[in-house]
Structure 1
Amino acid sequence: MKKILSVLLLCIAVVTFAFNRPALAADAVKGAKVFSANCASCHAGGKNLVQANKNLKKDALEKYGMNSPEAIIAQVTNGKNAMPAFKGRLKPEQIEDVAAYVLDEANNKEWK
């Protein structure tokens, strides 16, 4: 009985891990294209033309709690104050890609 149970559990584990697709990572390169087409009019170069202090540079993202993919995704999806919601305009994958691009630029590139 123990042997049958062990084999059954092993089969379940193998099937679970073998056929479970991993989550796709956001793509900052694709995000750059989406950003350029949808966000750059207000946020070119990581700036904010509406509220200058709420730019996309690392220190401002940290100050306003926007330094995680989840926070940026929520902001872009739902909008807030002068920021419009992009929920109906962009696919969730595009918004995830934009978040990856913004964080990549803020942390590693020229928006410092």
Structure 2
Amino acid sequence: MKKLLSAILLGLAVFAFGFTSPAMAGNAANGAKIFSANCAACHMGGNNVVMANKTLKKDALEKFGMNSAEAIIKQVTNGKGAMPAFGGRLASDQIEDVAAYVLEQAEKGW
């Protein structure tokens, strides 16, 4: 009886966790505030004042392989080229929120 009950519980657990959708990595509403305070000087409206072709618009994010939260998080954390690293200034959850905001805005067309 205990084996049967254990098997049923295991099956329910596998079903419950196996078919749930993953939570969004960041909070876009919070990311908007962080973006405004830290990123907007160079990226207002999804543009890029330093390198005009590397915007935060959907097509440019796709072209340069930055169309995922992971890629944006890496770029914001470590910096690259003219972009400074924000890993020492922002907490990892803040950077995740910025990534969520950037992707959401890119989908909306900024």
Amino acid at match of 2:47: K
Larger Rg: 1
Q: Distance in 1 between matches of 2:71 and 2:7?
A: 39
Question: 2:22 and 2:69 mapped to 1: Cα distance?
Answer: 14
1:7 partner amino acid: L
Distance 1:36 1:13 in 2: 46
For 1:1-112, what aligned pairs fall within 5 Å after superposition?
3-11=1-9, 25=24, 26-109=26-109, 111=110
SS in 2 for 1:45: helix
CA offsets, 1:65-96, max 9 Å, x none? 00111111111111111111111111111111
Distance 2:88 2:12 in 1: 39
| Number of residue pairs the alignment of both structures matches | 105
Gaps of at least 5 residues in structure 2 are none
**Same amino acid, percent of matched pairs:** 58
CA distance in 2, matches of 1:47, 1:56: 6
Cα RMSD for the two superposed structures: 2.2
Higher relative contact order (CA 8 A, sep 6+): 2
Amino acid at match of 1:60: A
User: What is the TM-score of this pair, normalised by structure 2?
Assistant: 0.82
Greater displacement, 23-32 / 73-82: 23-32
Unpaired runs of 5+ in structure 1? none
- TM-score, length-normalised on structure 1? 0.81
